[in-house]
Structure 1
């Protein structure tokens, strides 16, 4: 282009909720770029959504925007086009003459003016409609994410071009011969010459490429521009970029100038892994739904996206998957600079149909296909744009989906394509024209994710209990033996699935044999470990989006009299969630046949029931649960892994661990030394060194085995197994527990009952001590025990499970432990759940203590979710009349079958016999009967 006229600033404005049409005069103003909500236009809403944030100025309908512009005489001889970077459905008028309507949600709206603008004043009027979408729009329009805003964001400008100009410029990197192939369309007379220059930018090295002149011989331009043998490559480790400039000249007059950011790279799917410029890489991805709580829309400046992506990269992330959305240009530019692999996705979450389907929506299907082409044309030159997905959890015609993939690849072969994210769920398929597969299972039981919702059971290994650190997904991805196709127990041709926030019955075509992938496999939306809300976050919502859901959650907690525990709930559930994420990610790194993962999520998800699943909040700020440095010990391009079968050992018992390194850095690591030690506090228990080498990226290095006899301890001891590669930042630690030998469960001298019997009542009335350990299965007023925190969020999946007639999730969020209480003298614990509690909790129920006095604080309390907010007691004590009562709802037989369980029962009974058993809270006998019914 020759010149641009920036149209940012104050526009005349009118809200037209009823779609009455353009009024005679616009009596309001608004600043653009922006949205009506961000500008606080319209009547403020008193709504209070409980399942997502509330847009205080939510508006749906038509909004009219108008302003006058002055065209200089020098520009009146040039052709003009109106550029709107990101908006909704727009219709444009120039001086009252309607031009056209455009409806892309992902790409800019570009209006070519039919005639040149005369010098002087002209009026531009734009109508933005955020209701008449050809498709629902996924997370591009969802109130769960960036809201269904109305407005125009990003660049707004008039662009002026000469008699001839270039459009649809596409750059194709050629790593082998260090060149770039350029394809473009010439608008205007095909005469003249094209001057191409390039210089490196944003890299650690400088490189300038010699200019070249190419004669113009037709409307379709294709040229090869050599960058030189010393051209710099782009990757996650060295994101070298080039500023590629094009100057179009006709008869010594420059008619067009354009610049493109270019990166010389080759991102490929090779066997079961991805490579970048021939070097193996492993995708450490996160989900992104364009959640920006301060504005309600995605930022369009590189600086804002650099802050977001740099934060993610500090946690080891090298890949972004955009759930049913595509970010603005600035996101790709920031990713280009930082070396992050981007995967936009069509704004679709539903069924892909063709003419054979009864409910075939031809208009929607065609719109989505065209939207894909628009995404490729607009963002395809960015080196960070390496992958593309057709949507989220799609169903429908496999043939239609594969045909779309084939056509996209013929149009643009630069990115790798996948049919979608977790398509066909229980009955997945790998299509002919997809380059990689994104999902969670290859049959009902071939799982390669660590956690699942109850409606998608079986649950994952993180939820059901890993026995140490042995789990990987290699056998699930490539089974050792034949595995009959499993369709969730249905032979009827239909299957019930989770579909968004609901349930849906879909066709389940029979699959023949065992699905064995021949393309890289990426695990979809892993994690989803919830933490309790941090109500201090409410004050951060200073924009149009308000955390009224948080306010309701806080009110519910206050009504239960538990608000004084909110901060402890948040911290304890969060620490357990971090430990779950650690195992989840390490299982992925242990899997040699897995090509990467996509977290859901590093940050909280504000909608779909309010899913607080991140170690960062929705603002990408730390929750204080873990530092980026510690997170990177299990999420980076070099991860140490120790495989050992369990976390609990008795004095003298043999401990062995096979130590491995998943090495994904391009520089060899020759002859490194691994230093390891086992410590308990400041005490050194064991240690040593091992030597090995990592020769290239993608190496899975078996460093060696360590073997020791566990040291003699007189008390339950938490030890730390630490590994460090000398001279590097690569380290890892694991908590392991050692128990003294010969610990017996001795209940002698204790009045122990399985229920509140008449005898137990009489003893309490006489002032005796009573311990009740009921059979957990016989307690009605209780919640089932489960170690892991809740998946995603309880309200959403409770509703889905109920609609599918499946078991609802337990919905609890770990333990809050009074670690200083003398009952735990021989069972030292953290405030939050740790591995010694796993087997104990999984064989327990927690009594619902709602309505009891605040002084009755359980010694071991189970944290409930923010919908129910039950006060849950796993271990609690109280005075009943003259007597003292201790209640523990753990299955003593199951607990007694393990080292840790016996240690716990030993500590429990020792306390019950001691004079330290002095409960402060009091309960009437009748109330105890109600609680233990």
Structure 2
């Protein structure tokens, strides 16, 4: 077996240049549903098959073949295994490694145990970082290596997290990334920590020297540093010094002086330095280590984040390890660079890793691309659950759940449970292995944690102390989300609200959409009349650290059934196949591309408003989207402009998305989108400048077909600056008109646009003489209809309640399958579950109500006062004029506006209570437009049904 240096991208760290790769074929023995709680007898194992590593059992098609294709809630593994897998191979130690320190490294795996020549070396339960086993006194020649990998979730102190969540990163078993032997001298450097100091234009390297020999040793250390990924090159003076080590380990420091040529790292110019550390002992033994780092200072100034003295706004993406081809995170820098570049093309500058820490390749790639990272420990939800299955002596202390006194456990603050110790040690490994990466700027304990705050505070304090305060720290993301409180010493506060939940009051909200189980009517965007003046200033009033909007968005898209064929790896989209099958059964399969396109356009508009509400908030820290890509679990949450493969759905371009997710954003702030002809339109134009410089120039504006102008503006970095105010008299119109407000920073590509709808002055509704408006299909109305009458039927909502769903303006929050159950369990009326409208925008019934084929802001009052009627029994192929798009788990044909020919007459049915909205400018126009249509010669329904069929269809 050859001994050689592994070719690594420059951004990755390395501790040795003497490496033996163990990639390739390994023998395999499986022990299903058994953990490493009991150490096995090796002679009982039957190594009767083989696998290729690095890789997972699923990739090797080992385990149980999954024949259950009826899973709605998530993707399904084709091959699954839970238990302990044993991997065996022969290794050869070369002669020149005699009397050297030899380490067996597995970059990413599960809980493991390792044997050499039948002798147990040890165990390691840590999931987030490389596992290292020192192979002491190993002589040159052949040796048998056995690795046990245990992926039993219930037996692991980390409990549930996205490190082992079936719906995203699967609970794989295997060994990933680097699998290798490394050799160093017995006097070696075990750790390097880099401390940039921008003020002094220098960096301190803290080196931990280890002495495995025992007696005093002397040597020399040489440090060579150079920039490596930018057009400008800089090589500081090398550092050389002698050392003597007496103890088993001690720390030495070295200072790299950069001077005036120092290059800084941030999202705009992610310039990195690589330092090579050469250790040479008096006996001639050597060790070479490599580290990359960036000269940056990421901190906070009151309510906002600061990078190198510039205020930044975090435009974040939630990451749940969604990689469906492999079922686990990429281990290569190249693949993470590809992923981060896609996200950055959509204006993202920040990643939050939900209850997991990515591999080293992600940090290296984020350094190269310029992304601010926040990993988390593998903690999710009720932290006392992490204690289950973990035995420890001091049973009186259930650390994380002890506030729940009904559990009968008394908390003793002096006692650390095994779970707390596990999380503390896991955090130390993360900070040791990844702490030098410039992109690693924030660190949190986990997601939506509940439990003993004292323990969480202690963990954060210990993490901060261990890390020497090299980044920002927090107890978690959206902890105790119904009554959140910032952690005592937390540097930032990620939350959906800044104080205890108030059901019908949105003042403390930090996003505009919620599930109906968690906020009245789904939040601001669904309940309040559309405006571009919404912001979160009231929620920020009593905070002294940056606030980050937690899991912003969650707007559902309709599935792309063409995506199913893309699942060629270890997971299968049988959940999408079930939706596809149901839609075919409901006779609407040909409509799915239209559903997909219409919901995609509408969801993108909603995301725009949610993100822009944060951006227009003075002093806001940022948001973390849920999500830029789909989440294939929790009922199947199809919530992104990108699919699970980070591919565009082509419902919005990156360029359009960046209009409301970019370092510089133009903000048009006005009261409403629906305007009255002849009145004055007033809009305040602001610029949110989170670039790396001050701006000055001209901003031009135009309202298409109405007027235009420009302002001189000056915009200070890190501020929201007013550029000017548009005041323009709208023309007198006889017919409604849709137009657009365009905004542009002259001499740049920075633009923004807003749709506007202008309606004629509101008048009393006029019912044509030949039209009958009715709220019920009584005998008189039916006789007139069959005799040739023209009917506008507006059924009473109470009368159709059992054959309809509620009116939902926004698209369904996250996943209907998930939140329907939550709402029912909480005694809250579930969401209607719809995904917006599919509109026949050329239909003459809507001539006086300009519209696209999808929902937009002018439909708010109409949809809010509607009950779409279930038309599952309508004739095959029947399409409503305005169809509410149902979620894939239910797939009703839902009519918001629809028409039929009945006998000699025609009926237009409106599930919108038109009388309830006729006093709004847009509702008045819609009502009158429908009446004009019913009274005109244009009304010629294509589908004919009988009167009794119409009654059954509407009322059941």
Same fold (TM over 0.5): yes
Change (3 A) 1:24 1:756: closer
> Residue 883 of structure 2: SS of its match in structure 1?
strand
Work out whether 1:453 is the aligned partner of 2:515.
Answer: yes
Q: Is the 8 A contact 2:768 2:932 kept in 1?
A: no
Q: Is the 8 A contact 1:246 1:258 kept in 2?
A: yes
Q: Determine the structure 2 residue equivalent to 1:306.
A: 337
Aligned 1:714-753 pairs, distance under 5 A: 714-741=734-761, 743-749=763-769, 750-753=771-774
> How far is the alpha carbon of 1:77 from its aligned partner?
2.5
Q: Determine the structure 1 residue equivalent to 2:889.
A: 867
Which of the numbers 644, 653, 664 marks the counterpart of 1:618? Answer: 644
Distance 1:273 1:282 in 2: 7
Q: Determine the structure 2 residue equivalent to 1:439.
A: 495
Q: Determine the structure 2 residue equivalent to 1:674.
A: 699
Aligned 1:389-428 pairs, distance under 5 A: 389-412=444-467, 413-428=469-484
Q: Is the 8 A contact 2:164 2:170 kept in 1?
A: yes
> Residue 330 of structure 2: SS of its match in structure 1?
coil
> Residue 208 of structure 1: SS of its match in structure 2?
coil
Aligned 1:630-649 pairs, distance under 5 A: 630-649=656-675
> Residue 523 of structure 1: SS of its match in structure 2?
strand
> Residue 149 of structure 2: SS of its match in structure 1?
strand
Q: Determine the structure 2 residue equivalent to 1:150.
A: 173
Q: Determine the structure 1 residue equivalent to 2:838.
A: 816
Q: Determine the structure 1 residue equivalent to 2:269.
A: 238
Q: Determine the structure 2 residue equivalent to 1:347.
A: 378
Distance 1:239 1:11 in 2: 40
Residue-by-residue CA offset, 1:748-772 (whole Å, 9 max, x unaligned)? 3211210011101211332322221
Aligned 1:149-548 pairs, distance under 5 A: 149-188=172-211, 189-218=216-245, 219-251=250-282, 253-352=284-383, 355=398, 357=402, 358=408, 362-412=417-467, 413-443=469-499, 444=501, 445=505, 446-458=508-520, 459-478=522-541, 516-548=542-574
Q: Determine the structure 1 residue equivalent to 2:157.
A: 134
> How far is the alpha carbon of 1:466 from its aligned partner?
4.3
> Residue 811 of structure 2: SS of its match in structure 1?
coil
Distance 1:466 1:161 in 2: 67
> How far is the alpha carbon of 1:178 from its aligned partner?
1.3
Q: Determine the structure 2 residue equivalent to 1:828.
A: 850
> Residue 79 of structure 2: SS of its match in structure 1?
coil
> How far is the alpha carbon of 1:429 from its aligned partner?
1.3
Which of the numbers 925, 928, 932 marks the counterpart of 2:950? Answer: 928
Change (3 A) 1:387 1:18: closer
> How far is the alpha carbon of 1:352 from its aligned partner?
4.2
Distance 2:556 2:251 in 1: 53
> How far is the alpha carbon of 1:246 from its aligned partner?
0.7
> Residue 745 of structure 1: SS of its match in structure 2?
coil
Distance 2:64 2:337 in 1: 34
> How far is the alpha carbon of 1:925 from its aligned partner?
2.1
Which of the numbers 73, 90, 93 marks the counterpart of 1:71? Answer: 93
- Which region of structure 1 is more displaced relative to structure 2, 374-383 or 765-774? 765-774
> How far is the alpha carbon of 1:871 from its aligned partner?
0.8
Structure 2 unpaired stretches of 5+: 1-15, 35-39, 385-396, 403-407
Q: Is the 8 A contact 1:163 1:255 kept in 2?
A: no
Distance 1:742 1:277 in 2: 55
> Residue 497 of structure 2: SS of its match in structure 1?
coil
Distance 2:762 2:302 in 1: 52
- Which region of structure 1 is more displaced relative to structure 2, 430-439 or 299-308? 430-439
- Give the TM-score of the pair, scaled to structure 1: 0.93
Work out whether 1:83 is the aligned partner of 2:105.
Answer: yes
- Give the TM-score of the pair, scaled to structure 2: 0.91
Q: Is the 8 A contact 1:138 1:348 kept in 2?
A: yes
Distance 2:584 2:654 in 1: 33
Work out whether 1:766 is the aligned partner of 2:829.
Answer: no
Work out whether 1:110 is the aligned partner of 2:132.
Answer: yes
Residue-by-residue CA offset, 1:792-812 (whole Å, 9 max, x unaligned)? 010100011111112211111
Distance 2:863 2:900 in 1: 21
Q: Is the 8 A contact 1:606 1:618 kept in 2?
A: yes
Change (3 A) 1:18 1:593: closer
> How far is the alpha carbon of 1:427 from its aligned partner?
1.4
Distance 2:831 2:217 in 1: 66
> How far is the alpha carbon of 1:25 from its aligned partner?
4.8
Q: Is the 8 A contact 2:367 2:438 kept in 1?
A: yes
Distance 2:560 2:41 in 1: 45
Q: Is the 8 A contact 2:114 2:146 kept in 1?
A: yes
> How far is the alpha carbon of 1:2 from its aligned partner?
4.7
> Residue 805 of structure 2: SS of its match in structure 1?
strand
Q: Is the 8 A contact 1:744 1:906 kept in 2?
A: no
Residue-by-residue CA offset, 1:314-362 (whole Å, 9 max, x unaligned)? 0000000000000000000000011100000011113346557246892
Distance 2:327 2:17 in 1: 34
Distance 2:536 2:330 in 1: 37
Q: How many residues align?
A: 889
Which of the numbers 754, 765, 783 marks the counterpart of 2:805? Answer: 783
> Residue 857 of structure 1: SS of its match in structure 2?
coil
Q: Is the 8 A contact 1:177 1:229 kept in 2?
A: no
> Residue 192 of structure 1: SS of its match in structure 2?
strand
Aligned 1:516-665 pairs, distance under 5 A: 516-665=542-691
Q: Is the 8 A contact 2:602 2:856 kept in 1?
A: yes
Structure 1 unpaired stretches of 5+: 479-515
Distance 1:617 1:18 in 2: 33
Residue-by-residue CA offset, 1:707-740 (whole Å, 9 max, x unaligned)? 0001233321110110111111211000001122
Distance 2:671 2:842 in 1: 30
CA RMSD of aligned residues (A): 1.6
Distance 2:119 2:417 in 1: 31
Change (3 A) 1:297 1:579: same
> How far is the alpha carbon of 1:97 from its aligned partner?
1.4
